[in-house]
Chain A
């Protein structure tokens, strides 16, 4: 099925097989490999994308469902060579080690801070419930989100 949608602010037209998840479509056809396949079951959060600004699991959506919608992946965050403040905060606070969970973590941070510029630690924990990280132990991720909130406010 032919679909048209906004990807990171750019219009995209593409042929999407009906039985393909958004995750496989982004990775295999559009070569957006920042969207990771951790579990393929909605449990890990590495496949997070923003759909109309909200974090969702691309492994649990069909590609054809995004026809007419707005999708953001981490590629949509940095402008030219400049890191987004959230990315900067993750670098400064060591918010990642292997990096596999990081695109999902950063997109989840963006959605959270867009809605709630001054989150408490509890707010952060709720927003990140579905994002697993096998490396950091989460503390640095929470610190990164707090620093990102400060950087954005500046």
Chain B
């Protein structure tokens, strides 16, 4: 059933210009806060009354949250960086092409002009397109409250559909992505090729030495209450010969670890499980092919 779309509910609005002003503001507010980044999830959810914030804190004017930098061997991305700026960034293309690949077809061009990377992660949709590549790349996120700051591995960030470990007075300030040399593959299956939410997506990063998988990291979206890392596949493939058999076995594991919600829209449990298998196979084939030429 389609949700009814209504005008926005009432809320208070603040638009701090710096992280310092934000901290001062957060100390005064009690709860019911939603941060507004690109608004491409938040405003939709408010119109559908899925989210009814008391207070909106617009973080678009905090310049400090919008940057892409390489520091030693990590890429640091400010949470309010727009997806189109990430796609166009040569730093990202050269160092973490898996991310570019995954968000290139997220939503549509005009949505990506506003939608941010931080928003994609904080929404915590099981199908968020930036999550599988960032999980496979061992990314972490920095969370800042008025009097504390901590770094959390992305693998510990998601706890359920639309749920993360982030507390109400914490803002995600940046994403930290280690740079590594290897092969990348991302595949997204939606209802059509472009402009659609993923039904299932798979991202993998891998290194092959000789005939063997030396290191594979693989993550799936749309097959569980949160985006997940497939550690079972990674362990099984480590040091194992690259072959149709080993890839087929990995794909079977992808299917067996998939636990999609029965209530999820857009596709049945059986279909998601079957597609987890197919996409995992294709992603691993691509890596095997690329690494061996």
Contact = CB atoms under 8 A, between A and B. Distances in A.
Interface stretch (A56-64, A75-83, A85-93): A56-64
Interface string B1-28: 0000101111111010000000000000
Interface residues of A, number: 27
Interface of B is mostly: loop
Contacts of A56: 110, 113-114
A41 B108 contact: no
Interface stretch (A95-103, A124-132, A144-152): A124-132
B44 A127 contact: no
A130 B8 contact: no
B111 interface: yes
A48 B43 CA distance: 16
Contacts of B111: 42, 57, 60, 130
Chain A CB within 10 A, most for which of B8, B107, B109, B110:
B110
Contacts, number: 75
A126 B169 CA distance: 38
Interface in B110-147: 110-111, 113-114
Contacts of A126: 109
B58 interface: yes
A40 B13 contact: no
B60 interface: yes
A129 B195 contact: yes
Interface in B31-68: 36, 38-40, 43-44, 47, 58, 60
B47 A40 contact: yes
A55 B110 contact: yes
A40 B113 CA distance: 17
A19 B12 CA distance: 9
B160 interface: no
Given A41-B47, A55-B113, A64-B13, 4 more contacts: A56-B110, A60-B44, A62-B39, A108-B110
Closest CB pairs A-B (n = 8): A130-B108, A129-B108, A55-B110, A19-B8, A18-B13, A129-B195, A54-B113, A60-B43
Interface of B: 5, 7-13, 15, 36, 38-40, 43-44, 47, 58, 60, 107-111, 113-114, 194-195
